[in-house]
Amino acid sequence: MQADSELLRHELEEARSQLAEASQSIADRDAHIPQLESKIQNLESQITDRDTEFAAVQADREDLAQFKKEAAEAEAEVHREGQAIEALKTRWQQDVSDARSELADAKATSLKQSDKIRELERGYSLKPNPVESALRLEIGDLQAELETYKQQQPATASELPAPADLLNKLKGKRKKSKADLADLEAIVEILEET
């Protein structure tokens, strides 16, 4: 019986020892819980910060994508405008070329008519009719003005008088002048190019 009692005491001591170890283990775990909670909060805070940073990066990417889209649209618009300007430039160059050709033809025709009139005057001793005389004088005046402009410094577009002003001055000097605004606009364009 005493042996049973010793055995029971020994088991009781062992159980107490295990209980003490278990209590210590629980206490150690309880002591680690605040540290683990602190680590969890730290990690959650880091995750929140990363999420915020990711959202900012995502917003920046979207802004960049929008900027790239707008830049591509602007580039396309500039390209279209450049093509339109080139087409306009080509058309204007053709118009200027045509106007020069017409002016050269008009000069040649005027010279031929002047020579013909002189021939007729010499050959038949006829006086030219007043309209022809006025036209010859007008052509001579315009050619003289053109030569004067060419001899001066190259005029810029801002230094040349407006075609309407030129027409008024011409009408003031020659009331019966046959020149019109379109003629003077063509002359001003030619002068601007020389």
Q: What is the pLDDT of residues 123-160, one digit of tens each?
A: 555 555 777 777 778 888 888 887 777 777 554 555 67
Residue 133's pLDDT is what?
A: 74
Residue 156's pLDDT is what?
A: 53
Confidence of residue 66 (pLDDT cuts 50, 70, 90): very high
**Cβ atoms 162, 168 nearer than 8 A:** no
The residue that leads in pLDDT, 154 or 47, is 47
Number of H helices, E strands in the chain: 4, 0
Residue whose pair of structure tokens reads 């159980």 in the numeric block: 15
Q: How far is CA 101 from the centre of its chain?
A: 35
Confidence of residue 98 (pLDDT cuts 50, 70, 90): confident
Instruction: Show the tokens assigned to 27.
Output: 């206490």
Q: What percent of the chain has pLDDT over 70?
A: 89
In this structure, how many other beta carbons lie within 10 angstroms of the beta carbon of residue 52?
10
Sorted by where each begins, the domain ranges of the chain are: 99-193
Residue 126's pLDDT is what?
A: 52
- In this structure, what DSSP letter does residue 180 have? -
Tell me if residue 176 falls in helix, strand or coil: coil
For the whole prediction, is pTM greater than 0.95?
A: no
Q: Which of 153, 147, 152, 160 is nearest to 189 (CA)?
A: 160
The mean pLDDT value for 25-50 works out to 83
Q: Which of 99, 101, 100, 133 is nearest to 114 (CA)?
A: 133
